[in-house]
Amino acid sequence: MKFDEILEHIGEFGRSQAWILCLLCIPQISCAWQIVVVVFLQETPDHRCSPPALLNDTFLFQNPWHEALVNQTIPINDKDGGYDKCSYYRQTDDGNTTEAECDTWVYDTSVFSKTFPMDFQLVCKDSSKVRSIQVIFLSAVLVGSIIGGILADYCGRKPVFIVACLLHGSAGVAAAFSPNYTAFATFRFLVGLASPNIFASAMVLALELVGPSRRMVAGLAPEFAWCTGLVLLTPLAYLIRDWRYLQLAVSVPSFLYISLWWLIPESPRWLLIRGHTERAEKILRWAAKVNKKTLPANIFDEKTLEKTEYVSPLEMRKTPRLLLRTLIGMFVFFVIALVWYGLALNPGTLAGDLFVNYFLMAITEYPAYCICFVINKLGRRWPHAISMMVAGVAMISTIFVELYAQKGILSTDVAQTSLFMLGKTGITTAFAIFFMWSGEFSPTPLRNFVVGMCNVSGRVGAVFAPLIVEAFEKNAQLGNTIPWIIFGVMALLAGISSLFLPETRNKQLPETLMDANDVGVKPTGSSLPDPAHGISLMTEQPPGDLKDEIMLQDKTNSKAI
């Protein structure tokens, strides 16, 4: 019998799958922590130069003599009327004074007792190194996604998951004890390599253990665990104001997940593909026993896993509509990741309390993922496009608040923060929908390739997010709204582009390249894009010889797993 039929016999989502799914969801909390904890680690509090001759200087004045010395030694900044952050008055040999760059600073410790910019003195000319930590981490996530996906297919989902947890914990703990910036950047890179594999391996393992009708639940459960991790970081960061202790707190739990090696099984579907039929049968019969089901004596035959022969991605040149849809999908996911990380990692750019802003940003994830439970009724394309456009309009609207609202009053801050949160909700909703949608318009032989290319494109977008924020976050006329305007325009373009992708609601997954090429296209064809059916590049059906060639290849070389 086919593998999905075996799952129906043991129960598509029984006690065994529920137990495994719960265990796989717990590490996602730590995974979320490590990705966004930098929001609190990277904060650079208000600071000023420390007079070279003054030992044990503090940001707050200790007495009138202290204040007088600082006034004589530190220049006043013309822009904000505060003390200059990067220079001081130095006495020359002839008795005159000149401005010089300082090399020691004192910081306001009223919110954070220590952050890594404070410890490593990443201010003034070295301030760009703060944002570089985000770039280094997200670049590691990109590399880890590619390497981890290959290893998971070769070595198994479970070993990659456990090794990722071990690396996640050990590199995270090492980062907390980093003696300098280079060491900290190196260990954060290693954490970034592990992070996507904790999530991806758990997601794949969960999906391969449940029946088709319960894959929505299995796929969304890790997402909701991720959201919970984002929210729980708020009280954790509020209670722990020293960056080293906070980094330890989010890293140590990863060592506990190594015990999952003895609590969760390997994917029986992967074991069958690799020829380990005895191990796969043992796991399936254990699951049936826990679910109080009975399996027949012989459960495996030639139909259990119908193998899909290799189809080169170059074959998509024969299906131009599918090729263009893949390119559009890559662009859309690039923008989604660009905007999501640009917003999620930078709530500190908003006015008001960092902890409140972060909590509001985190809580928006829940309603966004709840949308997935109703998209079977609403469809994919229009909810996705509307979500992207809402995010885009919200981000672009921040410029009007910046230009026309009175600065420094509560209503202005609330308006700016509300637009930020609306944009975050919209982009998260778009991500939740597209994560599923991208696999539904892809053909079975190339589904992993298409989804993988969209994922890689998204990771590249994530790397660009902190670079854009760093380059454009401060402007004399527009404040910090330029990055949000860039994100907003990109979101609008991606939302419009997604309307050229096909609607897949209540449609079977395309089995062949020709099936995928024709998804959502009227039989008669059209020379213009049809908003009800996705993009159309041909006025007629493909030439007979081309269609026959593709159909013959798909019939002989491609069967659904």
Number of domains present in the structure of the chain:
3
User: Shortest CA distance to 232 belongs to which of 363, 71, 366?
Assistant: 363
Please identify which residue in the block is written with the tokens 């981490």.
137
Residues 165 and 178 in one domain: yes
Whether the predicted pLDDT of 40 surpasses 90? yes
Domain-located, residue 359: yes
Residues 300 and 335 in one domain: no
- Please check the confidence at residue 91 and state whether its pLDDT lies above 80: no
Cβ pair 83, 77 in contact under 8 A: yes
Task: Report how far residue 172's alpha carbon sits from residue 164's, in angstroms, rounded to the nearest whole number.
Answer: 12
List pLDDT tens digits, range 297-356.
Answer: 777 766 665 555 667 788 888 888 888 988 999 999 999 999 999 998 888 778 888 999
What pLDDT does 493 receive? 96
Asked whether residue 248 is assigned to any structural domain, the reply reads: yes
Phi, psi (rounded to 5 degrees) for 414: -65, -40
**Centroid of chain to Cα 21:** 21
**Last residue within a domain, chosen from 292, 307, 322:** 307
In this prediction, residue 518 carries a pLDDT of 79
Asked if 191 and 33 touch (Cβ cutoff 8 Å), the reply is no
Helix (H) or strand (E) holding 248: helix 243-251
347: which residues sit within 8 A by CB, 6+ positions away? 39, 354, 357, 358, 361, 420
Q: How much is the average pLDDT of 250-254?
A: 95
Residues 295 and 165 in one domain: yes
Q: Clarify whether residues 102 and 150 are in a common domain.
A: no
Same domain? 477 vs 502: yes
523 lies in some domain: no
pLDDT at residue 317, as a whole number: 84
> Of 286, 307, 328, which one is at a domain's C-terminal end?
307
d(C-alpha 274, C-alpha 429), whole Å: 37
Q: If you ran DSSP here, which 8-state letter would residue 240 be given?
A: -
Average pLDDT, the chain: 83
Distance CA 432, CA 396 (A): 22
Q: Are residues 426 and 354 located together in one domain of the fold?
A: yes
Q: Is it the case that residue 432 has pLDDT exceeding 90? A: no
At 243, the pLDDT band (50, 70, 90 cuts) reads: very high
pLDDT band at 139 (very low <50, low <70, confident <90, very high): very high
> Parallel, antiparallel, or unpaired: how do β-strands 105-107 and 97-101 relate?
unpaired
User: For tokens 């209540």, what's the residue?
Assistant: 506
Contacts of 496 (CB under 8 A, 6+ apart): 385, 389
177 lies in the same domain as 99: no
221 occurs within a structural domain: yes
Is the same domain home to 144 and 237?
yes
Q: Answer yes or no: is pLDDT of 475 > 70.
A: no
Residue 45 forms beta bridges with which residues?
A: none
Domain containing 5 equals 1-36+127-307
C-alpha dist (Å) from residue 118 to 104, 121, 123, 492, 549: 10, 5, 8, 38, 64
Residues 6+ apart with CB under 8 A from 96: none
Last residue of a domain, one of 273, 307, 341: 307
The per-residue pLDDT for range 356-377, each reduced to its tens digit, is: 999 999 998 898 888 777 777 7
CATH of the domain at 351: 1.20.1250.20
pLDDT above 70 as % of the chain: 88
Greatest mean pLDDT among 79-93, 293-307, 321-335, 399-413? 321-335
Quickly state the pLDDT bin for 546 (edges 50, 70, 90): very low
Q: Distance between CA 239 and CA 244 in Å, rounded?
A: 13
Average pLDDT value for residue range 1-21: 83
In a domain, 524, yes or no: no
329 and 196 part of one domain: no
The pair phi, psi for residue 346, each rounded to 5°, is -135, 40
For residue 264, the model assigns a pLDDT of 92
Q: 29 and 103 in one domain?
A: no
Helix intervals (H) in 93-239: 116-119, 128-155, 157-176, 181-207, 215-239
Check whether 248 has a pLDDT greater than 60: yes
- ∠ CA 417-423-426, nearest 5°, is 140
What is the pLDDT, as a whole number, of residue 508?
A: 67
pLDDT above 90 as % of the chain: 37
3-state secondary structure of 472: helix
More confidently predicted of 214 and 365: 365
Structure tokens that stand for 129 in this block: 């190194």
Nearest in space to 380 (alpha carbons), one of 217, 506, 491, 493: 506
* Residues 154, 81 share a domain: no
What does the alpha-carbon distance between residue 133 and residue 191 come to, in Å, rounded to a whole number? 12
Q: 266 and 140: one domain?
A: yes
Determine the pLDDT at residue 480: 76
Nearest to 338 by CA among 450, 211, 431, 405: 431
pLDDT band at 156 (very low <50, low <70, confident <90, very high): confident
Mean pLDDT of 94-105: 80
The answer to the question of residue 409 being in a domain is yes
Residue 76: the pLDDT is 84
Amino acid at site 90: R
Q: Which has more pLDDT, 420 or 9?
A: 420
Question: Alpha helices of 306-409 — where are they, by DSSP H?
Answer: 320-344, 354-363, 365-370, 375-378, 381-404
Burial of 373 (0-12, 13-18, 19+ CB in 10 A): exposed
